[in-house]
């Protein structure tokens, strides 16, 4: 019998997926500083969004509570926007030492 909880398995799956995507991005952009790094990032983001939307397709039961947040395209997009905002703000790269200051004196 294992002492691993479902939330630990979920977190491990999440972390593994994120790390594999980072590894793929680094491989595709060679050293992470190539001129095409923005195109690599945009392409990966497009693929991730495509897969995320695919994974949130409603089951077809109009009364399914699990599918309610994803019951139509606009609802899925709203949930995706909230998730992107949260993940972006949580990223260690959200703020940069080279960011333009908000105010100038």
* CA distance linking residue 16 with residue 33, whole number of Å: 24
Mean pLDDT of 74-102: 92
Whether the pLDDT of residue 51 is over 90: the answer is: yes
pLDDT at 76 over 90: yes
Cα angle 27, 30, 31 (rounded to 5 degrees) comes to 115
pLDDT, position 103: 54
Q: Rounded to whole angstroms, how far apart are CA atoms 71 and 62?
A: 8
Q: How far apart are the first and last CA of the chain?
A: 64
3-class SS of residue 90? helix
* pTM more than 0.85: no
């Amino acid at each position: 019998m294992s002492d691993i909880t479902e939330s630990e398995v979920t977190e491990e799956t999440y972390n593994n997926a994120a790390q594999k995507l980072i590894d793929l991005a680094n491989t595709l952009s060679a050293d992470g500083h190539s001129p095409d790094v923005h195109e690599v990032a945009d392409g990966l983001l497009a693929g991730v969004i495509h897969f995320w939307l695919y994974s949130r397709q409603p089951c077809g039961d109009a009364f399914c509570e699990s599918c309610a947040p994803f019951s139509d395209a606009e609802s899925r997009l709203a949930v995706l926007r909230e998730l992107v905002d949260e993940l972006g703000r949580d990223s260690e790269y959200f703020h940069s030492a080279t960011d333009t200051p908000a105010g100038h004196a």
